[in-house]
Amino acid sequence: FEKTSLHLEVNGVPLNLSVEPRTTLLDLLREQLNLTGTKKGCDRGQCGACTVHADGLRINSCLSLAVTNEGKKITTIEGLSKGQELHPMQEAFIKHDGFQCGYCTPGQIMSAVALIKEGHAGSEMEIREFMSGNICRCGAYPNIVNAIQEVKK
């Protein structure tokens, strides 16, 4: 496949890239940019492990062709912390044990940050509804909700 050029800002760094048109944003992040915090679970839009932000909105990066993000600002889990300082949502997940195996955690946290930003943390039901695209096979849901409720305050 012929490569095409792509301009992205990833975690605040402007990049000029060359990608195959069929490359997903998820594969670009993990394989070309070595940002492996974003996880590949199902690779078909069903688990949420690959959740990142594109211009501040959450997306499943496995469903998004990299080239369709031309000019966008992408934030991954690696871009949430500031130096050694974790994002409040990361702190809250640690405090409330919002994970067991941790595989879904980057996606959970990216969704949770979007949820607060978009004002969907009104009630526990609203939180669960907004987070329903992020599957946790260990079943850490109650602790994840607790973490989100703490950050919301």
Interface ranges with ligand FES (CB under 6 A): 40-43, 45-50, 60, 62
CB-nearer residue toward ligand FES: 46 or 123: 46
Whole-Å CA distances, 139 to 1, 77, 102, 143, 146 = 41, 21, 11, 9, 13
CB-nearer residue toward ligand FES: 49 or 92: 49
CB-nearer residue toward ligand FES: 88 or 102: 102
CB-nearer residue toward ligand FES: 45 or 122: 45
Phi/psi of residue 143, each to 5°?
-70, -35
Residue number of the CB closest to ligand FES reads 62
In whole angstroms, the minimum distance from the beta carbon of 31 to ligand FES comes to 14
Contact 135, 104 (CB under 8 A): yes
In whole angstroms, the minimum distance from the beta carbon of 97 to ligand FES comes to 23
In whole angstroms, the minimum distance from the beta carbon of 38 to ligand FES comes to 9
In whole angstroms, the minimum distance from the beta carbon of 136 to ligand FES comes to 12
